[in-house]
Chain A
Amino acid sequence: MTERMISCSAAICEALTEEMARDEAIFIIGEDLVAHGGIFGQFRGLPERFPGRLIDTPISESCIVGAGLGAALTGMRPLVDMHFADFVTCAMDEIVNQTAKIRYMFGGQVKVPLVIWAPDGAGLSAAAHHSQSLESWFVHTPGLKVVVPSEPADVKGLLKAAIRDDDPVIFFQHKKLFAREGPVPEGEHIVPLGKAAVKRPGGSVTILTYGSGFYMSMEAANELAGMGIEAEVIDLRTLKPLDFGTIADSIKKTNRAVVVHEACLSGGFGAEVSARINSELFDYLDAPVLRVAAKDVPIPFSPRLENFVLPKAEDVISAVRQVVYR
């Protein structure tokens, strides 16, 4: 297998090209798809390659998600493009009350092979309505699988897995990482849902992260290594179902954990991970579990304000130093 470097954007396109060629039931629905190739150009080339299978919609988020859901219930395998993850608010009933619950409340009669693709994240001065990280809302909604990849290879492998899954998956992808490159295997490359990856081995502390937090954590880990602190960085990749086994194996070794995410602190996914570690691994801990997250305010516009609110590698370093007492 050759080690090619491609971007997260190219990885999306490659995954979709391969999957759409494989299965005619797959189609993409959302705004600005055909002429523009997606609002970020993330689907460029697909409209020409798969005519009629990228469907432009009016700005009608409820019916965009509902259209995906209704099609999934009647034999298709849609990918819904949310345009910006922030706009899930306009389709919350379709995601939370309908998509997440239909299989369960109807007693398992039907499968719901639907992917809701939601570009999220801050750092682009896009301000409060175009910058949020909302994954924890959906972790708190039984019936959805929640995926937040970081590196291009995971984008490709997880997107392929999400499309093939018979359950609804909400797939968050950070806008600022679209251009980020990395090695991506060509052809069939599947990353199973619900599997975390140890991306940097280490024995001093476990850093649990996902999405943009992964890059922040790797940057921090490299600096910490200079201080003789070897952080084990785990990219959770799927938040639900959560691969707690991988987390536990690491913490049993390091006895310390820091959870890192870009979403704001209160009620964030870090709280869930921290609670589980405390209840299931308390005896292994030599320090309290710390969380690194954005401040609890809407994302502000001006770069200086935004930068202040978002977590950074230096925050990760400081949290790690607290738990290793150095």
Chain B
Amino acid sequence: MKSSVSTREMRRLYRTMVTIRKFETLAGELFAAGKIPGFIHLSIGQEASSTGVCSVLRPDDYIATTHRGHGHVIAKGGDLKKMIAELIGRKTGYCKGKGGSMHIADFSLGILGANGVVGGGFPIIIGAGLSIKLRHTDQVAVCFFGDGASNRGTFHEAMNMASIWKLPILFVCENNCYASTTPTAYACSVNNIATRAAGYNFPGVTVDGNDLLAVREAAGRAVDRARRGEGPTLLENKTYRRRGHFEGDPQKYRTQAEVAEWEKNDPLLRFASVLKKKKLLTGEMEKEIREQVDCELKEAVAFAEQSEWPNPEDALEDMFVNP
């Protein structure tokens, strides 16, 4: 798994990161232009975590994601057209316009949903893990969450349950230094959230979350362990949330210098430089990847903007299978 990443796979990973970065940038622009109602939370700067973890998953593996979940959905194979259409509230969106940015799911891809409640994914992933066990398959369930969610009671309930039942779960903490506007250093009792796994008697691993290959390697090991029936792992990807908590956040809780420092530690630049050193990526290829992604996103926006709005009465549908 670790050393045998093919050239093609490396470029594909880079492309996924570029797609997430460009998608998030575009979402920010659409929001600023007043085309996305409500509020959105962008994952710019955290692309190595979503891409690295999902790169070791199978299509039938499950993920539960968060309010900052666009990257996870893209990395698990989500459809950009349906995503943009959902973000702008159209009928052709993933949830027919009923969910929006914070509630995207694709059950056909094992994406059990983003969540508007911080820490809301833990109990659901326990159910997915338990279901895998009861159905005797070798699927794996991954719960993405932030440093903030690691202070919810649901985190601790889930860590304990996953441990006693040895569930095939990977808990992925994207420690991006802030829970909404509150610094992690203030709100967390530990420096490394992964150390909390010790209290639940399973491995906790902290990695440089902006190093794609480090994330991929650690996630790969944890997923292999889960598939072998050896139980859960807590993986902490140390990263940084470069945008505000939400678009429009005045960010009074940090300095521009801090943000600028982390911009130098950009996961895309870092992975591109690794690829270039290994002669797996040229400037020409990079340009081509960027153009392809731009083109794909342009098509997605066109699709979404040309899509119908939902009928007002559609608000009354989709509640029950048997009303």
Contacts and interface: CB of A to CB of B under 8 A. Distances in A.
Interface of A: 27, 29, 52, 55, 57-58, 60, 62-63, 65-76, 78, 93-94, 97-98, 102-111, 142-143, 145, 165-167, 193, 241
A33 to B, nearest CB: 14
Contact of A93 (B107, B120, B129): B120
Contacts of A143: 319-320
B98 A107 contact: yes
A160 to B, nearest CB: 14
B240 interface: no
Interface in B101-158: 103, 105-107, 112-113, 115-117, 120, 122-132, 134-135, 141, 153-154, 157-158
A58 to B, nearest CB: 6
A110 B107 contact: yes
B84 interface: no
B320 A70 contact: no
Given A104-B319, A105-B95, A71 B128 contact: yes
A67 B126 contact: yes
Interface string B71-104: 0000000000000000000000111111100010
A68 B126 CA distance: 9
B120 A98 contact: yes
B323 interface: yes
Contacts of B160: 58, 60
B131 A71 contact: yes
Interface centre among A58, A60, A63, A167 (most CB of B within 10 A): A63
Contact of A66 (B126, B318, B322): B126
A223 to B, nearest CB: 39
Given A65-B123, A106-B105, A70 B319 contact: no
**Chain B residues touching A, range:** 35 or more
A55 B103 CA distance: 30
A71 B116 contact: no
30 contacts: A29-B130, A58-B157, A62-B122, A63-B161, A66-B154, A67-B123, A67-B126, A67-B130, A69-B124, A70-B124, A71-B127, A73-B107, A74-B128, A74-B131, A102-B113, A103-B319, A104-B318, A106-B98, A106-B103, A106-B107, A107-B97, A107-B318, A108-B317, A109-B105, A145-B320, A165-B321, A166-B321, A166-B322, A167-B321, A167-B322
A107 B93 contact: yes
A58 B161 contact: yes
B269 interface: no
Most chain A beta carbons < 10 A, residue from B96, B120, B128:
B128
Contacts of B98: 104-107
Contacts of A67: 123, 126-127, 130, 161
B62 interface: yes
